[in-house]
Amino acid sequence: MHFKCRKYHGALFSCLLAFVLNTAWAQADEPGAVPYRPSVSTPAALSQPGWLELEAGGLRTGAGGNVRRDSLPYTLKLALTPDWGIRWSGEAWVAQTDDGGQRINGGGDSAIVLKRRFAVDDKSAFGLELGTTLPTGTGAISSGQSDYSITGIYSADVGNYHTDINLGMTRFGQEDPILGHTQQLWAASLSTALNERWGIVGEFSGNQRDGADATRQFLFAASYNASNALVLDAGFSRSTRNDVPDWSIFTGLTMLVGKLF
């Protein structure tokens, strides 16, 4: 399929839409995409070995008043074998607005993750992820330092439901006289298919860091399998603490880009 993209935003959107629709129909007989988004937790499962997979979307987060953050997160995933995989993720664009209305724009930091899956049986598996964040972002959007993380995963199918449970820890490279150097994260999701096309997921997650209040949030999202190669999603999350007004809305997609080996 050939199409020419012009420099105007409307034409760029049309180009992206045409590419997505072409992928959805042209790859109808290809293996299925394996979405990690939109939940905080990730599954133990890897994407199809040898196939490059893309996740991308839009995210808006608010924290009361004028505080807002808009971003375009993306992830490239490649499974080397059924049990080993890597992924590269980042934010193609970020716009942050503080309580005073000041706004900054630019690219966000990037991260690379090595993943290992440990199968238990055909319905459950453990997983382990080792990752590092790279300070590739623009100015104040970037942390300016590399962070390191480790995450343990347990995934299981129980009847018509699927659950992913994550426990992780991040070691921050940026020195802070008030906040601790490490942060603990937990997430537990439960998803189910409503039919051949539609699915839903609910999730509780949170984190804890010395010197900062613990966070807790609930997420709900729906997904639509446009084809084997393309899954669309949309949803929202909200803090479960009464004193914290944090919220977010998001939409995105997971798609097979092509076979590399």
Q: Domain extents for the chain?
A: 31-259
pLDDT of 18 reads 52
Write the DSSP string, 158-187: ETTEEEEEEEEEEE--S--SSS-SEEEEEE
pTM (predicted TM-score): 0.88
User: Which value, to the nearest 10 degrees, does the dihedral of the CA atoms of residues 228, 76, 116, 130 take?
Assistant: -150
Provide the residue-wise pLDDT of the chain in tens; the chain has 261 residues: 444 443 444 444 445 555 555 555 544 457 899 999 999 999 999 999 999 999 999 999 998 888 999 999 999 999 999 999 999 999 999 999 988 888 999 999 999 999 999 999 999 999 999 999 999 998 889 988 999 999 999 999 999 999 999 999 999 998 888 899 999 999 999 999 999 999 999 999 999 999 999 999 999 999 999 999 999 999 999 999 988 889 999 999 999 999 999
CATH code of the region 31-259: 2.40.160.40
Q: Among all chains, which residue has been given the structure tokens 């939409």?
A: 251
Q: What is the phi/psi pair of residue 139, to 5°?
A: 45, -125
pLDDT of 158 reads 96
The DSSP call for residue 140 is: G
8 A C-beta contact, residue 152 and residue 173: no
